[in-house]
Structure 1
Amino acid sequence: MHLTLQHGAYRAQVDTMGGELISCRDGQGLEYIWQGDAAVWPGRNPLLFPIVGALADATVCFAGRAYRMQRHGFARRQEFAVTGHGENWAELELRDSPETRAAYPYPFRLRVRQTLGEGGFTTAVTVENPGPAELPFCLGAHTGFCCPLLPGERFEDYELVFAQPETCPALIPKGGGLDRGRTAPGLENARVLPLRYETFDALDTLVFEGLRSRSVTLRHRTAGRGVRVDFSGFPVLALWTMPDKHAPYLCIEPWHGCPHMEGEGTEFTDKAYCIRLAPGAARTLSYRVALL
């Protein structure tokens, strides 16, 4: 089911499948969210829970017992219940079930609030632990933005501009995993990262950890149109478009977690950036997108 949000001339849609915001249009009707293409990447803006990225052999251990889980977790393929809906906001919830416990043996509540505001949207995700034991999880966003935005423009007409100068190599996936010793040149005392399809054809995904910047802007180099993503609270930022497809989108992905890392242990709690939530506790992470 799709829910419609409105704020002034801005319009958005939220899908109860995955709880994701799947469309955001400005006052002129310009769409900023990639609308998916089965021949390229059918996703649009999936929520990543309770893992981010791929596990080694798609397997993880909880308290010594092995479980199978596919890349980016199961939340994106689950139907969320609508718990509230106003003119410019929607709240949705996913609770554990026999299906989720087969892969992730914990009770949980995953609440998503999508809010359309003046000039953009905010996604806030709250994880609650109703169980008697500690709840380990990772959480991430995977928003696909239209790039280019207008006919006649090229992907290479756009650039990424970080809020501060950065010196940070990019971690490069191999076999779905990461190794801090396997990097490519990323940012060297620079704020601007030009976009080229060839970069993603060669490297697949650029993963940055340790950035000082808490926001990044995807913009047309001369016209300035695009989006600014505030990812405060997320320690990792990934950039991706499907290699060798040259499709008109770029995913900007704030992560609190990452794919399996070389040298990590077999327990889920050994994973980098794993959050460990005490019984009865809740944790909220949010990111904001401003349309420029």
Structure 2
Amino acid sequence: MELELKHGDRTARVETLGAELVSYRDGTGREYIWNGDPAYWPGRNPLLFPIVGGLKDGKIHVKGKEVSMERHGFARRQEFTVAAQGEDWAELTLEQNEATLALYPWSFKLTVRQQLTDDGFVTSVTVANTGDEPMPFCVGAHTGFRCPLDEGESFTDYEIKFPQRETCKTLVPDGEGMDWNRTLPCLEDTDTLPLDYHWFDQLDTLIFKGLKSESVRLVSRKSGHGVEVSFPGWPMLAFWTMPHKQAPYLCIEPWHGCSAVAGEGPELADKAFCITLAPGESRTVSYQAKTL
């Protein structure tokens, strides 16, 4: 089921499957969210929970048992309940059920709030531990933005702009996961990364840990149009488009967790940047997109 949101002359649609914001249009009707064309990638804006990325051999230990879980977890495949809705916002919730307990044996309440603003939207995710034992989880965003946004432009007309000059290598994933020591030079005392498909054809995903910046702009050098994404408090940031497809979108992904890292322990709680909540505790993370 889709929900319609409106804020002035700006509109959005939210899908109850996965609690995704699947469309955002500004006052001119310009669409910012990728449309999910399966020729490139059928996703649009999935929520990553309770893992981010893939597991080593697709498996993880939870409470002494080995379980399999698909890449990025199960939340994106689950139907959320509409808890509350206003003209320009909606709150959707997911709680444990038979399917989730088979993979992730904890009681939880996952609340996603999609809120329109004067110039964009805010996505907030609250994870609550409703059980009686510590609960580990990872969480991430995976928002696909159309790139290019306007006719007559190309993907390579766009660049990623950081508010601070950055010197940061990108992690190099492979079939076994990642290694903090396996990196490639990427940002070298610069605030600008021109988009080029060769990065994604070579690496699949650009993954950064330790950025000074807490926001980033995806902007056209031709028109100046684009989007600014703010992600304060998120320890990792990734950029992705389907390799070898010349795909017309870019995903901007704040992460609290990542794929398997060499040397990590077998338990979910051992994963990098995993959050563990005490019984009754909750944690909210959010990111904001502003149109340019």
Q: TM-score, normalised on structure 1?
A: 0.99
After superposition, give the CA deviation of every residue in 1:128-162 in whole Å (9 maximum; x if it has no partner): 00100001000000000000001110100000001
Counterpart of 1:280?
A: 280
196-205 vs 153-162, which moves further: 196-205
Q: Tell me how far apart the structure 2 counterparts of residues 175 and 232 of structure 1 sit (CA, whole Å).
A: 30
Q: Tell me how far apart the structure 2 counterparts of residues 176 and 238 of structure 1 sit (CA, whole Å).
A: 18
Counterpart of 2:241?
A: 241
Amino acid at match of 1:158: Y
Counterpart of 2:9?
A: 9
After superposition, give the CA deviation of every residue in 1:199-218 in whole Å (9 maximum; x if it has no partner): 11111101000001000000
Amino acid at match of 2:130: P
8 Å CA contact 1:176, 1:259 repeated in 2:
no
Counterpart of 1:99?
A: 99
88-97 vs 31-40, which moves further: 31-40
Q: Tell me how far apart the structure 1 counterparts of residues 259 and 164 of structure 2 sit (CA, whole Å).
A: 26
Counterpart of 1:166?
A: 166
1:255 partner SS: strand
Displacement of 1:63 in angstroms is 2.6
Pairing 1:236-275 to 2, within 5 Å after superposition: 236-275=236-275
1:237 partner SS: strand
After superposition, give the CA deviation of every residue in 1:85-131 in whole Å (9 maximum; x if it has no partner): 11000000000001100000101000000001101000000000010
Displacement of 1:198 in angstroms is 1.4
Counterpart of 1:147?
A: 147
How many residues align structurally? 292
Pairing 1:1-292 to 2, within 5 Å after superposition: 1-175=1-175, 177-292=177-292
Q: Tell me how far apart the structure 2 counterparts of residues 214 and 80 of structure 1 sit (CA, whole Å).
A: 29
Q: Tell me how far apart the structure 2 counterparts of residues 38 and 222 of structure 1 sit (CA, whole Å).
A: 28
Amino acid at match of 2:32: Y
Amino acid at match of 1:130: T
Amino acid at match of 2:253: E
1:102 partner SS: helix
- Which ranges of structure 1 fall in alignment gaps of 5 or more residues? none
Structure 1 residues 148, 175: closer, same or farther in 2, change over 3 A? same
Q: Tell me how far apart the structure 1 counterparts of residues 56 and 129 of structure 2 sit (CA, whole Å).
A: 26
8 Å CA contact 1:53, 1:176 repeated in 2:
no
1:173 partner SS: coil
Q: Tell me how far apart the structure 2 counterparts of residues 150 and 223 of structure 1 sit (CA, whole Å).
A: 8
Amino acid at match of 1:41: W
128-137 vs 175-184, which moves further: 175-184
146-155 vs 167-176, which moves further: 167-176
8 Å CA contact 1:49, 1:139 repeated in 2:
yes
Amino acid at match of 2:97: S
Q: Tell me how far apart the structure 2 counterparts of residues 62 and 182 of structure 1 sit (CA, whole Å).
A: 28
Q: Tell me how far apart the structure 1 counterparts of residues 242 and 179 of structure 2 sit (CA, whole Å).
A: 21
Structure 1 residues 75, 51: closer, same or farther in 2, change over 3 A? same
8 Å CA contact 1:9, 1:26 repeated in 2:
yes
Structure 1 residues 125, 176: closer, same or farther in 2, change over 3 A? farther
2:228 partner SS: strand
2:156 partner SS: helix
Displacement of 1:40 in angstroms is 1.4
Q: TM-score, normalised on structure 2?
A: 0.99
Q: Tell me how far apart the structure 1 counterparts of residues 158 and 72 of structure 2 sit (CA, whole Å).
A: 27
Amino acid at match of 2:233: G
Amino acid at match of 2:118: E
Q: Tell me how far apart the structure 2 counterparts of residues 108 and 28 of structure 1 sit (CA, whole Å).
A: 40
CA RMSD of the aligned region, Å? 0.8
Quick one: percent identity of the two aligned structures? 59
2:266 partner SS: coil
Amino acid at match of 1:3: L
